[in-house]
Amino acid sequence: MAIGTPVLAPTRFSASLPLAAVEHLRRFQVQGTVYGDFPFGGVLIDAGYPDWKVAYDGRYYRYSRKEWQYNGGIETGIVPLVDVVRKWNPAAFVLDSVHNRPLAEALSQSPAWRLTYASDGIVVYLPRLSRRESPGSAPH
């Protein structure tokens, strides 16, 4: 008599992981902070460490109520793009275009950022100029 054990798959907070977007970042040799959706943090860390750091890493328990409120403000468009750039000086954005619609729209209208990847609802924005030259980028 064989006894089977159930196979449990890990829980995903996102229906799709940004694996192709990660390869895109690699092709562009991105280095620095990547601002990504919360559920993408683990994938970005696993794929890019030590070259990439993340603004939010997906470990929900690490963040204070104030940080959650700030993130909520970004997701709803209350916190403007210029503040996000000032806080993290991102080298790239990897976003779920629906979940982060206000931020994705702000990036699409910004002369400092360009859409370089879009597939399955995931978008990647990179600076039009190098980060040192980019207007609105915080100094290192």
| Mean pLDDT computed over every residue of the chain | 86
Per-residue pLDDT at 24 exceeds 90: yes
Q: What is the arithmetic mean of pLDDT over 28-50?
A: 93
Residue range 95-118, pLDDT digits in tens: 999 999 999 999 999 999 999 999
What local confidence, expressed as pLDDT, does residue 139 receive? 42
**What is the DSSP code string of the chain?**
--------PPP-SSSS--HHHHHHHHHTT--EEEEE-GGGHHHHHHHHTTTEEES--S-GGGS-HHHHHHHHHHHHTSS-HHHHHHHH--SEEEEETTTTHHHHHHHHH-TTEEEEEEETTEEEEEESS-TTT-TTPPP-
What local confidence, expressed as pLDDT, does residue 61 receive? 82
Taking the model in full, what pTM does it have?
0.82
